[in-house]
């Protein structure tokens, strides 16, 4: 079994805000990361601590400490999961893997940002381990996400542009590329996430803010932009989202679900991190004047009607958890309620007096209504407040497992049902 990188050098990436509220806890089990995928080995320990809700948010302001946790050597028995699940290292020794995608061949792909390339991680013998790291395109400028269309073309997002790659050779390496969107704003929140509409008639690009909180000069900031597939006819689809790194569709609908990283410097527990739902174009989710649909910003929301017309979130979560990628569980081989619910990766805090996040949570969804977030995979943050990994994205693979990218630990993990 491959091991995750032993020593991690963490950067103080911008995290954000949200409150974690929890349904009835699922009994967790601690599983060693070196356990073989799909193994029936008995877990080494059963956790006895129940998951408890965070306090209700208040509007009191305060400045949190800047305490990006120090990286540590990976624990032997690291990640806690609900009963009936196991976890293994699918691929290690990657340089900052960010968003994940499933290719036309069914393989896992990731944007390896630290190497400026897109790589394929095939598992051709279906043993639960990647066969190796195969470069299919390189020479990018800090790529953060990629997506395939039904024709097998690949779209890659850099900070300021979207590039379309075509004509893969016999080894799956793309030989032609064309910039279809250029001049996206640079600086600030610099990652860009791509998503096609269910019928591929539109291409969506999430563009984060340039700041913690401000009135943006570029109206494309803090939005999800909508384009024609060739990159033309750009328009704002949803606004008031400070940094919506994760965007996806609820299966069978035209509901766009998006994570959002709220502003910093309002204290440890303000404002909540959120998952938001755009049921149509033109909705406003409030930033910078209003947070979570109900909390007026002390600097930019002094008007009595600051939250008027703001669409409230579907879910509130613990502040500063930094929710990034999200994925519905349909297509997994997990039991209910995981099939119909939502998984969200928490990248973790950087400026909270007590670190939070660094885990994957599950949000039950029934008939489009989201319940409260509950812990699903925890342990990247130790009890001592140190960190050995930061989850970025989650995706359901063709084998029915849940894959998690970790840009700090340089690994892709595979969570499987036993």
Domains of the chain (ranges; CATH) run 19-49+60-417 (2.120.10.30)
Q: What is the pLDDT of residues 367-396, one digit of tens each?
A: 999 999 999 999 999 888 889 999 999 999
- Residue 303 token pair: 């008007």
Q: Which of 6, 7, 21, 70 is nearest to 314 (CA)?
A: 21
DSSP readout, 304-362? TTTTTTPPPPSEEEETT--EEEEEE-TTSSPPTTTTTSEEEEE---SS-SS----EEEE
Q: Which of 244, 299, 302, 292 is nearest to 271 (CA)?
A: 292
What is the pairing mode between strands 391-396 and 256-260? Answer: unpaired
| Residue ranges in the chain whose pLDDT is less than 50 | 1-32, 34-70, 76
Residue 5, pLDDT score: 33
Q: What is the DSSP letter of 208?
A: -
- Outline where DSSP puts E strands in 25-171: 28-31, 45-46, 79-82, 85-91, 97-102, 108-112, 117-121, 134-138, 145-148, 154-157, 162-168
Do the beta carbons of residue 137 and residue 101 sit within 8 Å?
no
- Outline where DSSP puts E strands in 83-122: 85-91, 97-102, 108-112, 117-121
Residue 66, pLDDT score: 43
Q: Give the length of the chain.
A: 418
Q: How far apart are the first and last CA of the chain?
A: 18
Do the beta carbons of residue 388 and residue 72 sit within 8 Å?
yes
Residue 20, pLDDT score: 34
Using alpha carbons, list the distances in angstroms from residue 296 to 60, 88, 292: 11, 43, 9
Residue 74, pLDDT score: 60
- For residues 215 and 307, what is the distance between their CA atoms, to the nearest angstrom? 16
Q: Which residue, chain included where needed, has tokens 């799956």?
A: 172
pTM of the complete model = 0.86
- For residues 396 and 401, what is the distance between their CA atoms, to the nearest angstrom? 6
Q: What is the pLDDT of residues 243-266, one digit of tens each?
A: 999 999 999 999 999 999 999 999
Residue 351, pLDDT score: 85
- Residue 124 token pair: 């051709």
- For residues 228 and 207, what is the distance between their CA atoms, to the nearest angstrom? 16
Do the beta carbons of residue 287 and residue 263 sit within 8 Å?
yes
- Residue 230 token pair: 């060739």
Using alpha carbons, list the distances in angstroms from residue 375 to 81, 297, 325: 8, 29, 15
Q: Which residue, chain included where needed, has tokens 């943050």?
A: 381
Do the beta carbons of residue 261 and residue 242 sit within 8 Å?
yes
Q: Which residue, chain included where needed, has tokens 């894959």?
A: 403
Q: 382-405: buried (b, 16+ CB within 10 Å) or exposed (e) per residue?
A: eeeebbbbbbbbbbbbebebbbbb
């Amino acid at each position: 079994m491959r091991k995750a990188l032993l020593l991690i050098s963490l950067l103080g990436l911008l995290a954000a805000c949200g409150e974690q509220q929890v349904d009835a806890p699922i009994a967790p089990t601690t599983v060693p990361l070196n356990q073989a995928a799909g193994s029936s080995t008995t877990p080494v320990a059963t956790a006895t601590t129940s998951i408890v809700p965070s306090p209700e948010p208040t509007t009191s302001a305060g400045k949190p400490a800047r305490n990006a946790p120090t990286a540590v050597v990976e624990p032997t028995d690291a990640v806690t999961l609900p009963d009936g699940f196991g976890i293994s290292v699918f691929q290690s020794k990657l340089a900052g893997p960010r968003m994940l995608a499933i290719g036309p061949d069914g393989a896992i792909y990731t944007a390896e940002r630290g190497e400026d390339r897109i790589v394929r991680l095939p598992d051709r013998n279906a043993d639960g381990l990647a066969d190796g790291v195969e470069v299919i395109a390189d020479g990018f400028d800090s790529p953060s996400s990629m997506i395939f269309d039904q024709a097998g073309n690949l779209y890659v997002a850099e900070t300021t542009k979207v590039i379309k790659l075509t004509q893969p050779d016999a080894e799956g390496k793309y030989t032609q590329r064309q910039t279809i969107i250029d001049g996206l704003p640079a600086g600030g929140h610099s990652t860009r996430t791509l998503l096609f509409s269910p019928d591929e008639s539109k291409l969506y690009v999430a563009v984060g803010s340039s700041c913690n909180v401000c009135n943006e000069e570029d109206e494309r900031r803090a939005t999800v932009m909508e384009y024609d597939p060739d990159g033309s006819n750009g328009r704002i689809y949803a606004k008031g989202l400070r940094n919506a790194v994760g965007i996806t569709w609820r299966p069978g609908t035209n509901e766009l679900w998006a994570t959002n990283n709220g502003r910093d410097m309002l204290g440890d527990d303000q404002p909540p991190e959120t998952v938001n739902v755009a049921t149509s174009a033109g909705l406003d989710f409030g930033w910078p004047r209003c947070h979570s649909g109900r909390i007026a910003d002390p600097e930019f929301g002094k008007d009595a009607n600051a939250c008027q017309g703001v669409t409230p979130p579907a879910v509130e979560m613990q502040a500063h958890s930094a929710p990034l990628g999200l994925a519905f569980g349909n297509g997994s081989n997990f039991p209910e309620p995981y099939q119909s619910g939502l998984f969200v990766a928490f990248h973790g805090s950087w400026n909270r007096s007590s670190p939070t996040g660094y885990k994957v949570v599950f949000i039950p969804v029934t008939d489009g209504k989201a319940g409260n977030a509950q812990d699903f995979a925890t342990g990247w943050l130790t009890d001592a407040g140190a960190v050995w990994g930061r989850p970025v994205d989650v995706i359901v693979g063709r084998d029915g497992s849940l894959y998690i990218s970790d840009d700090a630990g340089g690994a892709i993990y595979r969570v499987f049902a036993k």
